[in-house]
Amino acid sequence: MLIRNKYIERIKPFINKRLIKVLTGQRRVGKSVLLQTLAGILKQQNSDIQILYLDMEKYEFDSIKNYVDLMEYIKANKKADKIALFIDEIQGITEFEKALRSLYSDSNFDIYISGSNANLLSSELSTLLGGRYIEFEIHPFVYTEFLELKQIEDNDANFNSFLKFGGLPGLSDFEDNVGMKEEYLKNIYTSIIFRDVVRRNQIRNIAFLENLIQFVADNIGSLLSSTQISKYLKSQKLNISTNIVIEYLDYLCNAFIIRKVKRYDVKGKRMFEIGEKYYFEDLGIRNSIVGYRTTEVHKYLENVVFNHLKANGYNVKVGQIGSKEIDFVAEKNNEKKYIQVCYLLDSEKTIAREFGNLNEIKDNFEKIVLSLDAIKNGNSFEGIKNMSIRDFLISFE
């Protein structure tokens, strides 16, 4: 088991504070292990504290259907003055936020919850608990965690394995058994779709949902609009309205399967209303849907850079400057970084495009072109840094 210290260090300052700690993210990204690690830290700090841990995926908690059941369970099992309450995958409890509001009013409870749906915050929690919680978004392993867990070095073979199978922690159980890894990823994908998308949103048109997911998987990193997607689906004899497309895309984003990235006018400093990109939270999940193709490495590289930026706390947008595109405008702590991602800088045309787009930006924030063939960090072209993608994934925070 890899202790994910970056997340632990982010959460530690809020231990024993009057805020509900909320861990969100796609299923199987490691939220449960983080909750268990935090429970251990709390017990070390105070041996008198009672750890009350509810894993809502386990059958022994099946009787807890709603907030009343939850309050009755806690009342029956409370045995100490100070309680650290952990509820894993809380979204299965109807109106759970009512119980949390009541428990929050009792200063003897230190509360930690996890959930696999973004609506956990946007609707359920924010309505009744505005200002009383803090969110920590948990992601699959980044490349450095992948290497650390497997205790392997950065080389071509291991990097390609990361691109193909992604960073879900559970993959480490299967060593180098390709068939078992592929089966594991397919099962996780099916579980997410039917539990967090179909069942939660009462979807009946599953055939359309699957076609939509395949379309997005085939077009990661491409500018899309709901109208474009709707037209494509109509060409496949699926007559679906634009509103339904938007609705289903939101469901997929809420389940953390895909991420929507909006376009940003770099000069005008405003967001565009239409046209966005979609990336998969985990490339292994994406590849389990439409397969891994060596001809599409450029797409995977862009996706993995996006995931790395998000996991390191950056707010990420697609940049637009005139008719030219900037792959990522990444912001954190009031600092911006402009990033272009390409497979190889193997022609004058490619070099002119990747560096030329960044040259259009006249502010003084850092500008980087990432490629697989950069010789070493620090190389530059017209003052713009050229950096190896693998070096970026290892050193950039």
Residue 25 CB contacts under 8 Å (≥ 6 apart), including other chains = 31, 114, 116, 137, 138, 139, 256, 281
Residue 323 is predicted with a pLDDT of 92
Question: Quick one: pLDDT at residue 124?
Answer: 74
If residue 191 lies in a helix (H) or strand (E), which one and from where to where? helix 178-191
pLDDT for the residue numbered 385: 93
Q: Say yes or no: 51 and 126 in one domain.
A: yes
| Structure-token match 């070099």, residue found | 351
Single-letter amino acid, residue 23: L
Q: Assess whether 320 and 364 both reside in one domain.
A: yes
Decide if pLDDT at 268 tops 80: yes
- In this structure, are 107 and 152 located in the same domain? no
Q: Which of 137, 155, 179 is the last residue of a domain?
A: 137
Distance (Å, whole) CA 96 – CA 128: 10
Least confident segment among 157-171, 241-255, 374-388: 374-388
Mean pLDDT over residues 100-110, rounded? Answer: 95
Asked if 182 and 330 sit in the same domain, the reply is yes
- Residue 100 belongs to domain spanning: 5-137
Quick check: 317 pLDDT over 80? yes
CA–CA dist 327, 311 (Å, integer): 17
- The answer on 189 and 111 residing in a single domain is no
Q: Residue 21 — very low, low, confident or very high, per pLDDT cuts 50/70/90?
A: very high
pLDDT at 376: 52
| pLDDT at residue 172 is higher than 60 | yes
**Which domain-ending residue is among 104, 137, 170?**
137
| Same domain, yes or no: 127 and 89 | yes
What CATH number is given to the structural domain containing 133?
Answer: 3.40.50.300
What was the pLDDT predicted at 354? Answer: 94
The overall average pLDDT reported for the chain is 94
Specify whether 268 is located in the same domain as 388: yes
Q: What pLDDT digit, counting tens, does each position of 114-153 carry? A: 999 988 777 778 888 888 999 999 999 999 999 999 999 9
**204 secondary structure, DSSP code:** -
Q: Last residue of a domain, which of 119, 137, 155?
A: 137
Pair (222, 369) in one structural domain = yes
Contact (CB, 8 A) for 359 and 382: yes
Residue 226's pLDDT is what?
87
Q: Tell which residue, 106, 92, 140, has the closest CA to residue 20.
A: 106
Are residues 120 and 191 both part of a single domain?
Answer: no
Q: Confidence class of residue 378 from pLDDT cuts 50, 70 and 90?
A: low
pLDDT in tens, 290-312: 999 999 999 999 999 999 999 99
Domain shared by 306 and 219, yes or no: yes
Interacting residues of 391 by C-beta distance below 8 A, sequence separation 6+:
374, 376, 377
pTM: 0.95
Name the helix (H) or strand (E) containing 214.
helix 206-218
Same domain membership, residue 249 and residue 195: yes
Q: Examine the domain organization and report whether 291 and 381 are in the same domain.
A: yes
CA distances for 116 relative to 20, 269, 289, angstroms:
16, 33, 20
Question: Region 58-67: what's the mean pLDDT?
Answer: 97
Overall domain count for the chain = 2
- Counts of helices then strands in the chain (DSSP H, E): 17, 13
